Structure 1
Amino acid sequence: MFGGSIERSCRVCRDNATRKSLGYGYVNYYSVQDAERALETLNYMSIKGKPCRVMWSQRDPERRRNTASNIFVKGLDPTIDNKALHDTFSVFGNILSCKVSTDNNGKSRGYGFVHYEAEEAAKIAIEKVNGMKIANSTVFVGPFIKREERGEETIVENYTNLYIKNMPPTWDDAKVAALFGEFGEVSSSVLLNTEDGKRFALVNYKTAEAAKAAVDALHRKDMRPELGEEAATETPKEAAAPDADKGEDSKEGEEEEKDPRDSKRSGRRSSSI
């Protein structure tokens, strides 16, 4: 019994070859009232140490792919989780799905997505929350834009977040913080690894001037002349794209909210930020 009600059917989706769980499933109730009660009661409840997300199943693929009601939020305080983000934005309309992007250790990357049922709710949320302070951070809220729809010409001028790759293997968190701290006050910095072992860092400055100074000084600068390797910093392509999304298109890339049935049933889930 999921949520104290009797289910009509329940199944966990698995990989066709390995039979390993894909991390999502479907529960079908006899009544809408029971489904609504489960949604309200169990959403973001911890299951084996991980908060689950419960949302309505959208069978219409066009509705799932509609990004007009999907918004992007960045600059989130590390304390903001899925539930806190949902509670903040649910006052503007019915939310189909809501997610804060996290790394492999469950630490927030500072951005997330909210997918509304109605486009009007998304517009109101952008108007009301953009530039507002949530917890200890001022957030940017804008319409979500797919990667293929972004143009190279839409470069953000007032960025504060930097993505750093091709770093020497000896660099650690302290080295990143010290080096980039020379150009201005750093709000946060973190050194991370992708699933295939590639290293990258995220640095967020207090001001856009400091971020630009760091880019001007360090972009493609040879940090290990004896090996001829370069360190590279990248700036955001446009206002609604997370800065951490330049290195990995699969996992670290955009995470547009979509129904898992749109992806191939493989051992690796396709993600939707």
Structure 2
Amino acid sequence: MRNTILCVFSLLLFASCQIREEIRFNEDGSGSYEVGFDMSEMMKMGEGNDSLPPQAAIDTLIIFATFLEEKKDSIAQLPKAEQEKLEALRPLRFAMKMSEEENQMNIRLSYAFDKLEDISKFAEAVEAADIKELDQGVNPMEGMMPADAGGADSVPKNGMEDLFKMAESFDTEFNKKRFSRKVTEKAMADMLQKKDTTLKADDPFVDMMRFKQVYRFPFKVKNVSNPNAKILSDFKGVELEANMYEMNNDPEYFNIEVEFER
């Protein structure tokens, strides 16, 4: 498995972006997994650039469970294999708002899971859904990148897919006593191999991309192992946030163990 975190770097290096990964847990181990990002700063970069074609405003919410229910009679007429592919989309929700006038671009995809292992199906569901707005959302990047960076052609075609595969870079455990999440050995090796030794903490662009992980629990937090983590105000969650330098310099930056009050 390639290093998905660094692939996200290569996709979003050229514009300020806030990436957010959130997992919500229920007592029985079910919950929801969400990936979202705010590229509003990128929209601002395009202001006054008359060479860019105008982008139509987008305000979309797709709840696949609702869609499948509405189309169930038609779906029942499809071959069984096609029915199974569509049914796999049921836990997925997609929301996107893009407006040049408001300099706003936000995308969120969430996936309900019955057990942690189901999170691995998130990327497959996103790919199978073939959401056209995701492709449209990347289009504003064209013409905004500096010439010496290779322009839009330098954006990797698989960058968006890698964003949705971030969960594969971590081993995650959750029960009534504790929660832990650690970068996998494979992802660790990839990050060390691809580490940018020229990146410095005071480089002006290290804050152009910030990555946040948020975990919400049905239990109150007692102890947190990671000193970078912040306990949420209700004591039922934690969050970690890093810029590009912190992520590049410390592959274990997001490793965390949480002990619950019982």
Q: TM-score, normalised by structure 2?
A: 0.28
Q: Which has the higher helix share?
A: 2
Q: TM-score, normalised by structure 1?
A: 0.27
